[in-house]
Amino acid sequence: MTTRIPITILSGYLGAGKTTIINRLLSGDHGRRVAVLVNDFGAVNIDASLIETEDDNTISLTNGCVCCSIGDDLGAALDAQAARHIPPENILLEASGVAEPKRIATHVGFWPGFELDALIVAADAETVRNRANDKFVGQLVRSQIRHADIIALTKTDLVGPEAARGVKAWLRNQVPNARIFEAPNGTLPVALAFGADRASNALSGPVEPAPHSHLRTVMCVPGTGLSRAGLARAIEALPSSVHRVKGFFRDLETGRMTLLQCVGRRHEFLEAPTDTETVLVLIGVGSDTEMNGAMDLLTASDALEADPKSTFAARISD
Amino acid sequence: MSQMTVYTARNIRTMNPSLPEATVVAVKDGRIIEVGTLESMAPWLEAHDHVVDNRFKDHILMPGFVDPHLHPTIGSMLLPCHWVTAMEWQLPDRVSPAIKTHEGFMDRLAEIERSLSDPREILISWGYHKIWHGDVYRKQLNRISDSRPIFVCQRSFHEIVANDAGIDWMEPARDELERHEQVDLETGRFFETGMFLALKSLKRIMMDPERFAQGMAQMKKLMHRGGETTVGDMAFPLTDEAFEWEMLSDNFGSDDAPFRIAITPRGINDMASYGGRTADELKRVNELEERSTDKLRFTNSIKLFADGGFNAELMQLLPPGYIDGHHGEWMMAPEVFEDLARLYWNAGKQIHVHCTGDLGVELALSVLEKLQAERPRFNHRFTIEHLGVSTPEQVRRIKDHGGIVSAAVYYVHELGEAYWHGSIGFERASQMSRMGTLERLGVMTGFHSDFLVSPPQPLKLAWVAVNRIAESGAVLGERERTSLDFAMRAITIDAAYVLNMENEIGSIRAGKLADFTVLEADPWETPLEDLKDIPIWGTVFEGRPFPIK
Ligand SMILES: [Zn+2]
């Protein structure tokens, strides 16, 4: 089982709302030890009462999170996190506004001791369409959006519901099957940013609610093994309202316990410890019907002899 | 007060059009008293004690060469490496010959390996380029040595190739390397972001203070051999301000270093949102300037960046872009660039903008146009640095808005043909570094080496500008060649103008600092194709002769 620290990259062009997302995530009461690595340390703005210690390039918060400046050596900034007395559970890395997300994902996702979890790209509902046509940065902004696992659409409250729908339609046109999450005031739920709790057994515990959002979590214990090929096909067919899938299942072909991690349109299968319990968790923004339908699609995804009656499904939504 | 020294010479090319040639220059306390003939300066000679120094009677004196953009820090890191290069480089203690084949590369590397006396030395080579040297693989390096770690660094740090001993020596375990998408242990290649894994270990060696100081000593020798007396450090610091400042002070601050460095602070690279904090940024730069000394001086300037590296093919291009359809990159978000440019423009600073492609130039010019409309300035010396790919119309606009150029002329020599065939096609490749247009339109222009982009040899840069001889020997873009006068100004008085120091250096006239480059032949009497081969005796720095040993 991997002990690598998962990294979520927060990309997006200038003014897309990355800093607001970071400020909210850092000061949120979410119970996870997150390290946030930022380019622009001076822009971080946190209620002083939450700050435990602060020096030139690190702020430690009372909720267990830290915020550190990346400086000019990204690898060294990551090494410093891995070397901490208690390393963080998750890292949120703020990409530079002009970074090609795919390049930074390769850089940090394969850094020794780390792995890529998700590539989230913030897009500003007010300006993203203009920016995408800009003479100087249009190509970059379109590329950032295209490579997103999840698009965090910010400032939707400023443009109104109709314009927000227009932007979403436009985004879907740019990126078929784009996973879009509306984050009007910059709130990015930790379940969306980092997925279900990474400790394997925590999946069977209560799933953390995301009170301020329309995010839903659906959990299910498939009664049979599943096939990788079948799951891969089902993932392709998932509605764009499902942003993340994580689960442990017994691989029908090999009989081994396997970990499925899926963020947006990207997924991977990894070996899991043999004593892991079977479970699938979906995180998304669909209606109950849509989310349950998606779960059915996955659990039926192969399984020639799956018996629906033996499937115990715990479904939680807020 | 010291005595006056009167240097006689075969000819003095003053670069002052009011008195272009002379045979005698009188110097006192580091400054020029008068230039002319023994007869013309008789009143000075009669009035002051002096010695006549005839050591240059067979030589040509020119103003000390000025290289307005290079990077002493990068040079100091890489000079201690073992160079195997496609172009010839004359280094202080060795010549790195032009090696243009795969076999030649491997033979040279093997030869270097055999020459190492310390079996524990890690062999780091620099200069490898696929265009000339083909693919280099782990197994080939294993044949050179299976015990000594060998790292072959690509010229512009696109990739590093290692042998097995090197891979084993590296910090990360093999399985961590194996899973990296941009590391291929079979071939031993660490490319693009995978290269950072190799650098992580190599940096410990390359940034070792002792090795770095050796590199800086070589850097000084190299600049001296090029005849340079003033250089611009065009982006301070590179990474570690305290370390770099200490190194520069130790190595260039002393009397025996015949140079002065004009230091341009590097503008902050990434500011996501900095409402109200621009004042801090200005303060940071102004505080750096307080360190200014005669030899390490800040000149009220700032370095900003538009698009990516030219050697890395990351310049931003206007349509039709690259043949293979890839895109360049921005080093600063265009809005950040604009805001910072406005900050420094309004503070009265000279702004140097790194621009390599025509879209990068377009960005710089569109911002300059805005700033001129908002708050017109004369004599602002907004400088386009590099000017790799550009259009003639852009050059006209640079002129119209009072901009100037510090040009990377060497691009066309090293990369003109390679980019013709592999990057942007003939028309734009043959017109890269369009010096002829700059001359025709009368744009103030200095030539820079941007070492390690090209050797810190101003005569070689001038040679490229007047001949445009590409690496195969063919002439590329003959309509973009310049006159000899233009090229020689671009390495002396006009380069001094780029550094905002033309009142003190760049020509030989009464009152200026007594910096001379001493040549064995007169550039105006030398065939243009031989310009780069004129031997250099040494330099005179503030009146003191410094022969090349
Ligand atoms: Zn440079």
Please report residues of A whose CB lies closer than 8 A to that of B334: 136-137
CATH node for A216-317 = 3.30.1220.10
The Cα of B402 is separated from the nearest Cα of chain A by a number of Å equal to 23
Tokens of A160: 């109104």
Out of A98, A107, A139, whose CB is closest to B333? A98
Distance of CA B462 to the CA centre of its chain: 13
The per-residue pLDDT for B274 is: 44
* Cβ within 8 Å, pair B333-A14: yes
Please report residues of A whose CB lies closer than 8 A to that of B270: 39-40, 96-98
H or E stretch at B184? strand B183-184
The per-residue pLDDT for B277 is: 65
Distance (Å, whole) CA B510 – CA B495: 19
Domain that holds residue B134: 73-206
Best residue in B191, B239, B273, B355 to probe A by mutation, most A CBs within 10 Å?
Answer: B273
Out of B200, B270, B359, whose CB is closest to A136? B359
* pLDDT at position A2 over 80: no
The Cα of A90 is separated from the nearest Cα of chain B by a number of Å equal to 19
Distance of CA A100 to the CA centre of its chain: 18
Q: Chain B neighbours among A 36-65 (CB < 8 Å)? A: 38-40, 42-43
* Within a domain: B102: yes
Q: Which residues pair with B7 in a beta bridge?
A: B25, B53
Please report residues of B whose CB lies closer than 8 A to that of A94: 272
Q: Using an 8 Å Cβ cutoff, are B349 and B427 in contact?
A: no
The per-residue pLDDT for A27 is: 85
CA B282 / ligand 1 centre spacing (Å):
22
* Within a domain: B130: yes
Confidence of residue A304 (pLDDT cuts 50, 70, 90): very low
Out of B183, B330, B359, whose CB is closest to A98? B330
Distance (Å, whole) CA A273 – CA A1: 6
Mean pLDDT of chain A: 86
CA-nearest residue to B179 within chain A is: A110
User: Minimal CA–CA distance to B314: which of B360, B381, B368, B257?
Assistant: B360
Please report residues of B whose CB lies closer than 8 A to that of A21: none
Please report residues of B whose CB lies closer than 8 A to that of A140: 327, 329-330
The per-residue pLDDT for A314 is: 38
CA B353 / ligand 1 centre spacing (Å):
10
The Cα of B198 is separated from the nearest Cα of chain A by a number of Å equal to 11
Please report residues of B whose CB lies closer than 8 A to that of A113: 176
Note the pLDDT tens digit of each residue in A4-44. Answer: 999 999 999 988 999 899 999 988 888 899 999 998 777 78
CA B395 / ligand 1 centre spacing (Å):
20
The Cα of B203 is separated from the nearest Cα of chain A by a number of Å equal to 11
**Rg of chain B (C-alpha set):** 24
Q: CA neighbours within 13 Å on the CB side: how many for A191?
A: 28
Distance (Å, whole) CA A156 – CA A179: 16
Cβ-proximal residues to A170 (8 Å cutoff; 6+ apart), any chain: A129
What are phi and psi for residue A277, nearest 5 degrees?
A: -85, 145
Confidence of residue A281 (pLDDT cuts 50, 70, 90): very high
Note the pLDDT tens digit of each residue in A257-267. Answer: 999 999 998 99
Tokens of B329: 């990159």
The Cα of A36 is separated from the nearest Cα of chain B by a number of Å equal to 15
* Within a domain: B56: no
Out of B200, B274, B359, whose CB is closest to A40? B274
CA B77 / ligand 1 centre spacing (Å):
15
* pLDDT at position A201 over 50: no
* Cβ within 8 Å, pair A112-B362: no
The per-residue pLDDT for B14 is: 98
Q: Chain B neighbours among A 69-88 (CB < 8 Å)? A: 72-75
Q: Using an 8 Å Cβ cutoff, are B437 and B480 in contact?
A: yes
The per-residue pLDDT for B1 is: 57
CA-nearest residue to B333 within chain A is: A98
Residue ranges per structural domain of chain A: 5-193, 216-317
Please report residues of B whose CB lies closer than 8 A to that of A96: 269-270, 333
Q: Chain A neighbours among B 137-166 (CB < 8 Å)? A: none
CA B547 / ligand 1 centre spacing (Å):
28
CA-nearest residue to A73 within chain B is: B239
Distance (Å, whole) CA B401 – CA B235: 24
The predicted model scores a pTM of 0.90
Distance (Å, whole) CA B390 – CA B362: 9
* Within a domain: B122: yes
Q: How many domains does chain B have?
A: 1
Note the pLDDT tens digit of each residue in B220-251. Answer: 999 999 999 999 999 998 878 899 999 999 99
Instruction: Report the 10 Å Cβ neighbour count for A276.
Output: 17
* pLDDT at position A300 over 90: no
* Cβ within 8 Å, pair B272-A143: no
- CATH code, domain carrying B156: 3.10.310.70
Please report residues of B whose CB lies closer than 8 A to that of A139: 327
CATH node for A5-193 = 3.40.50.300
* Within a domain: B43: no
Out of A97, A112, A139, whose CB is closest to B333? A97
CA B448 / ligand 1 centre spacing (Å):
9
Confidence of residue A302 (pLDDT cuts 50, 70, 90): low
Cβ-proximal residues to B521 (8 Å cutoff; 6+ apart), any chain: B60, B534, B535
Tell me the average confidence (pLDDT) per consecutive run of 10 residues in chain B, 549 residues long: 91 98 98 98 96 98 98 93 94 93 97 95 95 94 97 92 96 91 94 91 91 95 97 91 92 93 85 56 91 95 94 94 94 90 96 98 98 97 98 98 97 96 97 97 98 95 98 96 98 98 98 98 98 98 96
* Cβ within 8 Å, pair B334-A111: no
Q: Using an 8 Å Cβ cutoff, are B173 and A87 in contact?
A: no
Please report residues of B whose CB lies closer than 8 A to that of A42: 271, 274, 277, 280
Q: How many residues does chain A have?
A: 318
Please report residues of B whose CB lies closer than 8 A to that of A137: 330, 333-334
CA B329 / ligand 1 centre spacing (Å):
16
Out of A43, A107, A113, whose CB is closest to B196? A107
CA–CA distances in Å: residue A311 to residues A220, A223, A299: 8, 5, 9
H or E stretch at B46? helix B42-47
Note the pLDDT tens digit of each residue in A130-171. Answer: 999 999 999 999 999 999 999 999 999 899 999 999 999 999
Note the pLDDT tens digit of each residue in B40-82. Answer: 999 999 999 999 999 999 999 999 999 999 999 999 999 999 9
* Cβ within 8 Å, pair B192-A103: yes
Exposure class string for B176-194: b at 16+ Cβ within 10 A, else e:
bbeebebbbbebbbbbebb
User: Minimal CA–CA distance to B76: which of B273, B244, B196, B308?
Assistant: B244
CA B450 / ligand 1 centre spacing (Å):
5
Please report residues of B whose CB lies closer than 8 A to that of A67: none
Preceding amide of A50 cis, omega within 30:
no
User: Minimal CA–CA distance to B379: which of B503, B511, B231, B232?
Assistant: B503
* Cβ within 8 Å, pair B196-A94: no
Q: Which residues pair with B264 in a beta bridge?
A: B234
* Within a domain: B328: no
* Cβ within 8 Å, pair A110-B363: no
The per-residue pLDDT for A307 is: 42
